[in-house]
A and B are shown apart, each in its own frame.
Chain A
Amino acid sequence: MRRLPVYFLLDTSGSMYGEPIQALNNALSGMINTLRTDPQALDSLWISVITFDREVKEIVPLTELVSFQLPEIVCPQSGPTHTGAALEVLYQKVITDVRKGTSDQKGDWKPLFFLFTDGKPSDIQLYRQMISQIKSLNFGAVVGCAAGHLADDSLLKELTDSVVHLDTCDSTTLKTFFKWVSDTIEQGNKSQGTGESVELPAPPSEIHLVI
């Protein structure tokens, strides 16, 4: 069966400690519940969750939605944001996880990638190095989400054209964001021309598209 692989890279650095990480957990769990009511997603969606702070952890390897169980996401009270290292892990995972079409293997849908951060990369050099490699993976969509006033839109812009900004990291805003993410995921399994990418649905007013 054709799978739609979706990767989440979530910032769990110190600044997320407390209410924001709680809100993130709630919003993610809400998104998973929403997706479970979508027959298309139940048939094809595979999700992977990678968190990054000082360490990068693949907390859920690519798993089909039907069997997916979301663990509680925790974060340290302080520490750096190793976004670059996270991209490095993501790159390897996508290379090994995603099936490409051949004459005797059905290719996956183009994978989607959502990066959620409330800060900016502490390993900026590695981050910039990884950008071209990530672009070479030919994602159907790469969406960068900068949450809160400390998040750096312009650095995300270097990674992808699709950057959204959330004013705050509160529960309501994150819920709205992840609802929009699930709408975007639903766009991911449609036929398109080779080389074209997924068109993002219009975001709700809480979410600002960074131009």
Chain B
Amino acid sequence: MSEEIIYIKNLFANRGIILNNKLEHLFDAFVKDEFNIKAVQQILENQKMLTEKWKLKNRISDILQQPVSIPNGTVNKPYEAKLDFIKLGWNEIVFFELFGLDDLGLIYEPLEEVISGIPLKNGDLKFVLKFRVEGELEDSELHEKTISFVVNPDPKSLWKDIKSDESDPYWKEDNITSSGKLGEKNIVVASKRGRSHANVGSFRDDHFTFKHLDNTGWSIIALADGAGSSKISRDGSKTACDGIINYFSENLSTEIFKEFDILLKDHCVGSGENTLKKLNHFVYNNLGKAALDIHKSLEQRANKLEVNLKDLHTTLIFVLLKKYEFGYAILSFGVGDCPIGLINKDLSSVNLMNWLDVGEFGGGTRFITMPEIFQSEKFATRFGFKIVEDFSYLMLMTDGIYDPKFVVEANLDKIEKWLEFLEDLNGKNEDNIKVDFIKDNTEIETQLSKWMDFWSPGNHDDRTLAVIF
């Protein structure tokens, strides 16, 4: 039975027209009439057309309303997003064009179905998809769908550089450098306020000091990093560094350190017994006293300023250095997360003079202001002592340098990481900024300070680096 006859039968049935046997003849003739058949065909075609048209409208409306999320971009950072028509279920789209991408710095590559480029501006941005779906006439007007996506600003462009308030009682320079001679060695230090501070006009919390005592031949170098979460830790780091210089300026010329000279000589010529043990004991005793003295002066300082001791929270590393006829004696102490690295003469090995107080979470460390560090059984391991014929570099740095350049503690033991660091200082960096570690380089402070502006996402803490060479 043809489609047309079925249609007519159904039509009559729906209208309550009963076709009994008597009418069979008549019906046969009726459905053979070409005019009637054509009429049915016309109806069926119209029905089909209406259904298709409705489906099409519906489909277009679905596409127009379908939420499309494409990945966020960032200004100045290469962007790539696939506009995956199959995944989006847009198989029926037979023709489309994208408008408005140029203005955003993007293009569409039809072969790969990829939007790419380098976004020029940030915000909730929009572009327009104009399309036609299967079944529409080629000259029919295109449908328009607006697709929005987020472009983040370039973080680099957001950092502000707000000068710190010089009238603040605890003010210190945002950037400071220094250089000089430590006997036969040279030292250069730069300390720079972190971008996170500059952004809000707050102060540098790092501090450093160094001094060479001509009368005894000893050099003292100290670095400290005030806790970011403490109110006047910048004063704590200063108090700690200044305290170390004061303490040793008084104590290094005393009989006590003359005893050290004798002990060391005995050790190096091999006379005397248990000399290394005695030396280590000496370091522990005398540098330990200094550390405790600093802790006490910080306590006094807190009392004087009528603040809590934790408001002065600061890390502290310091080194004592002296040249003897057989080489250098290097003594160190450290609390916090600032490493001291000693690189040998031919750059083949490194000695990490201290271990770092790094907690399981970022930023968690220990401070010289914490009384518990003196009671801890690990206190004895905070000291370092080395006798070397010579060395190429002795470096002290705060975590503002260590975090971006060494990332994790394990890297501090690897000479290859220190060699990379030296290459970096030697100009192998994004900005090709070089520090010439040569004697009498009058530009060295500026060079180091410029080098210190390096960009490292997520690392915007104060940076302090002291290099003895």
Contact = CB atoms under 8 A, between A and B. Distances in A.
Interface residues of A, number: 40
Given A103-B409, A105-B408, A193-B367, A42 B155 contact: yes
A2 interface: yes
Contacts of B139: none
Interface string B428-469: 000000000000000000000000000001111100000000
A68 interface: yes
Contact of B358 (A39, A42, A107, A187): A107
Given A66-B74, A193-B313, A42 B158 contact: yes
Contact of B403 (A2, A42, A67, A110): A2
Interface in A128-173: 138, 140
Secondary structure type dominating chain B contacts: loop
Interface string B147-178: 00010110110110000000000000000000
Given A2-B403, A39-B158, A66-B74, A193 B458 contact: no
A101 B361 CA distance: 6
A38 B157 CA distance: 10
B365 A42 contact: no
A19 interface: no
B195 interface: yes
A43 B457 CA distance: 6
A184 interface: no
A138 B227 CA distance: 19
B153 A43 contact: no
B360 interface: yes
A191 B228 contact: yes
Interface in B341-369: 357-367
A15 B461 CA distance: 44
A57 interface: no
Contacts of B158: 37-39, 42
B358 to A, nearest CB: 5
Interface string A189-202: 11111111011000
B364 A110 contact: yes
B399 interface: yes
B58 interface: no
B362 A109 contact: yes
Nearest to A196: B229
Contacts of B313: 192-193
Interface in A26-70: 36-40, 42-44, 65-69
Given A101-B360, A193-B365, A193-B370, A43 B410 contact: no
B152 A193 contact: no
A199 B229 contact: yes
A190 B365 contact: no
Contacts of A100: 360-361
Residue of B155, B156, B363, B407 with highest tally of chain A CB at under 10 A = B363
Contacts of B229: 187, 190-192, 196, 198-199
Contacts, number: 128
Interface string B309-324: 0100100000000000
Secondary structure type dominating chain A contacts: loop
A43 B408 contact: no
Interface string B372-416: 000000000000000000000000000100010001111100000
A39 B155 CA distance: 5
Interface string A90-116: 000000000011111111111000000
A106 B458 CA distance: 12
Contacts of B159: 39
A211 interface: no
B69 interface: yes
Interface string B239-278: 0000000000000000000000000000000000000000
Residue of A40, A66, A138, A191 with highest tally of chain B CB at under 10 A = A191
Interface in B53-104: 69, 71-72, 74
A189 B409 contact: no
Nearest to A140: B361
Contacts of A191: 225, 227-229, 337, 363-365, 399, 461
Nearest to B159: A39
A101 B69 CA distance: 35
A111 to B, nearest CB: 8
Contact of A192 (B153, B227, B399): B227
B325 to A, nearest CB: 38
Contact of A107 (B227, B359, B460): B359
B154 to A, nearest CB: 9
Given A68-B72, A106-B408, A199-B229, A40 B360 contact: no
Nearest to B196: A40
Contacts of B72: 66-69
Nearest to B413: A103
B155 A43 contact: yes
A141 B274 CA distance: 52
A193 B71 contact: no
A67 to B, nearest CB: 5
Contacts of A105: 408
A103 B352 CA distance: 14
Given A42-B155, A104-B411, A107-B360, 5 more contacts: A36-B153, A39-B155, A108-B362, A109-B361, A110-B364
Interface of A: 1-2, 4, 36-40, 42-44, 65-69, 100-110, 138, 140, 187, 189-196, 198-199
26 contacts: A37-B158, A42-B74, A43-B155, A43-B458, A44-B458, A66-B72, A66-B74, A67-B71, A69-B69, A69-B72, A103-B410, A104-B408, A106-B362, A106-B408, A110-B361, A138-B361, A190-B228, A191-B363, A191-B364, A192-B230, A192-B313, A193-B370, A194-B357, A194-B359, A194-B365, A194-B366
The 7 A-B residue pairs whose C-beta atoms are closest, nearest first, are A190-B228, A39-B158, A39-B155, A191-B363, A100-B360, A1-B458, A192-B229
